[in-house]
Structure 1
Amino acid sequence: MRKYFITGLLILVPLAITAWVLSLVISTMDQSLLFVPERWQPRTLIGFDIPGLGTILTVLIVFLTGLLTNNLVGNYIVRLWEKLLHRIPVVSSLYGSVKQVSDTLFSSSGNAFRKAVLIPYPHQDCRTIAFLTGVPGGDVKNHLEGEYVSVYVPTTPNPTSGFFLMLAKKDVIELDMSVDAALKYIVSMGVVAPE
């Protein structure tokens, strides 16, 4: 009986968590309908709410923004907008930091998390999977002797938090493993081994 109960848990828990996360994301995106005038909301027009309409609206707005800013005029407007934001004291530093991180992570030409590596961490006799993020820059590289690389070490089971380390390149082993496979391995705490 215990075996069947555990088997049932192994099937239902991932489904329940997935459904809960999707429900949370969709309900959060549905909140974007609050910015639509009352007379244009589904509750006013047809008498009831349509679940997921906010998600569709959010995806559509993101897509149209990308479409409009991907030409000469849209690009010019974005540059003007960014110049304006860079003149506002607190907003400038916050927006600049977020923009730099998002450009690094989401840009197709960026190098963030493009390679899974094996590194000695937390001490020389242990190994963990990390992601190559680049090379140290600025004044930092002036204080490092030899060739160094920058890596991000995600925590288990939540890879969104972690540690940023600079290691000697000779201590870093590049893995023949995709970033997705490495993330699954980390999130599963080593239970789901890569093929």
Structure 2
Amino acid sequence: MSYLWKNVLKGLATVLPVALTLYLIYWLGLTIEKGLHPVITSVVPEEYYLPGMGLVAGGVVLFFLGLAVNAWVIQRLIWLVEKLLERIPLVKSIYGSLHDFMDYFAAGKSRGGLKQVVLVSIGEAKLLGFLTREGIEDIPGLNAEGDDDIVAIYLPLSYQIGGYTLYLPRSKVEPVPLSMEDAMRRVLTAELSKSGASAKP
């Protein structure tokens, strides 16, 4: 029974991530399709409606929303909504976590986001982190020696339960030739992910 159960768990570990990923994509597409179906049929007669039109329309809407975010009026509106959400105790925690998580993967952010994968040495231990900002001079008490400027390093904890921001001289930070996705996977899964361990820079 132990042998059978061990192999069942191996099969489940192989199939479950793929199945959940495919189901999530299917659920998201189905949700967009159902949500935009009434909108499309209010313009196009029902007999001309084809399956998938809602999904295509959803992609177009998201594309134009991405363009609209660059407009000052839209940015101001989003800022007001964010300030409102940040005043609601439980909602601000959920929104803040989701917002920060999406910032990891959103391209073209004006803030720059994560710039470089690095190693930080603390005693004999080496921690994998991310360079987030360079040339920090606006925090009292941070003094760079000579040409060695201060940089900010973010150290996320496993399974994204928190993290630390370290301010270190650049000489104390060692760049690592890993992609952001590979490094983030390694840190967040505590090196339990086989895909993270086998990925190459």
TM-score with structure 1 setting the length: 0.63
Q: What displacement does 1:109 show?
A: 7.1
- Distance of aligned partners of 1:33 and 1:114 in 2 relative to their CA distance in 1, 3 Å threshold: same
Partner of residue 89, structure 2: none
Does the aligned pair in 2 maintain the 1:117–1:129 contact within 8 Å? yes
Question: What does residue 163 of structure 2 align with?
Answer: 162
Runs of 4+ in 1 over 6 A off after TM superposition: none
Partners of 1:138 and 1:29 lie apart in 2 by 46
Distance, in Å, in 2 between the alignment partners of 1:116 and 1:28 is 36
- Provide the C-alpha distance between the structure 1 equivalents of 2:151 and 2:131, rounded to a whole number of angstroms: 7
| Contact kept in structure 2, 1:32 and 1:58, CA below 8 Å | no
Relative to structure 1, the CA distance from residue 55 to residue 116 in structure 2 (aligned partners, 3 Å threshold; closer, same or farther) is farther
Unaligned runs of 5+ in 2: 86-95
> Hey, what's the Cα distance between the residues in 2 that align with 1:143 and 1:35?
59
Amino acid at match of 1:63: F
Residue 79 of structure 1 corresponds to 72
Q: Residue 190 of structure 2 aligns with which residue? A: 189
Find the counterpart in structure 1 of residue 59 from structure 2: 59
Q: Partners in 2 of 1:8 and 1:81 — Cα distance? A: 48
Cα distance, 1:14–1:60 mapped onto 2, change above 3 Å: same
How far apart, in 2, do the equivalents of 1:82 and 1:109 lie?
Answer: 13
RMSD: 4.2
User: Residues 53-86 of structure 1, C-alpha deviation per residue, up to 9 Å, x if partnerless?
Assistant: 544322212324556x6xxxx97xx235546x49
- Which amino acid is 2:21 matched to? T
Q: Distance in 2 between matches of 1:7 and 1:144?
A: 50
Unaligned runs of 5+ in 1: none
The answer for the alignment partner of 1:135 in structure 2 is 134
On the 8 A contact 1:136/1:166 being kept in 2, the answer is no
Deviation at 1:117, TM superposition (A): 0.8
Q: Secondary structure at the match of 1:143?
A: coil
Aligned residue identity for 1:56: V
8 Å contact 1:130–1:151 — kept in the other structure? yes
Q: Percent identity?
A: 21
Question: Of the candidates 4, 7, 10, which is equivalent to residue 7 of structure 2?
Answer: 4
Separation in 1 of the partners of 2:43 and 2:175? 54
Work out the number of aligned pairs and report it.
174
1:182 maps to a residue whose letter is A
Any conservation in 2 of the 1:118–1:130 contact (CA below 8 Å)?
yes
> What TM-score results when the alignment is normalised by the length of structure 2?
0.62
Distance 1:137 1:24, change over 3 A: farther
Deviates most, 105-114 or 10-19: 105-114
SS, match of residue 139 in structure 1: coil
